[in-house]
Structures are given as structure tokens and as C-alpha cells.
């Protein structure tokens, strides 16, 4: 939280853009690793991960970051 106490459940817009990128990136990696842990032969499903991120991050500034992830080539 911006007040230094606890963890955010809903992410606010009053943090720096770089902090938003870190939050979205961390969530992306968490989803990726969760799928890989459940299935060792896992082949990533970018659409599924991005769908989960869109559900988690509702504000437009975060969605722009998620949309940027859609353009990445792996």
C-alpha cells in the first residue's frame, strides 16, 4: 500500500508508472510459473495468462501495460 502498511488487493493509480510495470510483470511471471508447476510439459498460453491479468488489473493504465505484453514475440 502507498501508506506502507499491508498489501493492495485493488491496485490504485497513485503509484509511479515503473511500479505499475513491476506489478504487472510480477503477476505475469506468477501466472506463468503457476501453470508450469502444474504441468512440467507446459507450453505457455499467452492468451490465457493475459486474460487472467485483465481480470486482475481493471484500471486503464494497467491495461495499457497488459496490452503491451500482447505484442511481445516469444
DSSP per-residue codes, 22-74: HHHHHHHHHHHHHHHHH-TT----HHHHHHHHHHH--SHHHHHHHHHHHT---
Task: Name, in order, each residue with C-beta under 8 angstroms of 10's C-beta and a sequence gap of 6 or more.
Answer: 58
- The predicted-structure confidence for 1-12, as pLDDT tens digits, reads as follows 566 666 666 777
- The predicted-structure confidence for 32-67, as pLDDT tens digits, reads as follows 898 888 887 878 788 889 999 999 998 999 999 999
Whether the per-residue pLDDT at 21 is higher than 90: the answer is yes
Structural domain includes residue 25: yes
Structural domain includes residue 5: no
| Domain boundaries, position 32 | 17-70
CB 53, CB 27: distance < 8 Å: yes
Number of domains in the chain: 1
Query: What pLDDT sits at residue 43?
Result: 80
Task: Name, in order, each residue with C-beta under 8 angstroms of 1's C-beta and a sequence gap of 6 or more.
Answer: 7, 8
Structural domain includes residue 11: no
Amino acid at each position: 500500500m502507498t501508506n506502507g502498511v499491508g498489501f493492495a488487493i485493488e491496485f490504485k493509480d497513485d503509484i509511479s508508472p515503473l511500479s505499475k510495470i513491476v506489478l504487472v510483470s510480477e503477476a505475469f511471471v506468477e501466472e506463468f510459473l503457476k501453470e508450469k508447476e502444474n504441468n512440467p510439459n507446459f507450453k505457455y498460453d499467452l492468451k490465457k495468462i493475459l486474460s487472467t491479468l485483465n481480470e486482475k488489473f481493471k484500471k486503464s493504465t494497467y491495461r495499457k501495460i497488459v496490452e503491451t505484453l500482447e505484442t511481445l514475440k516469444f
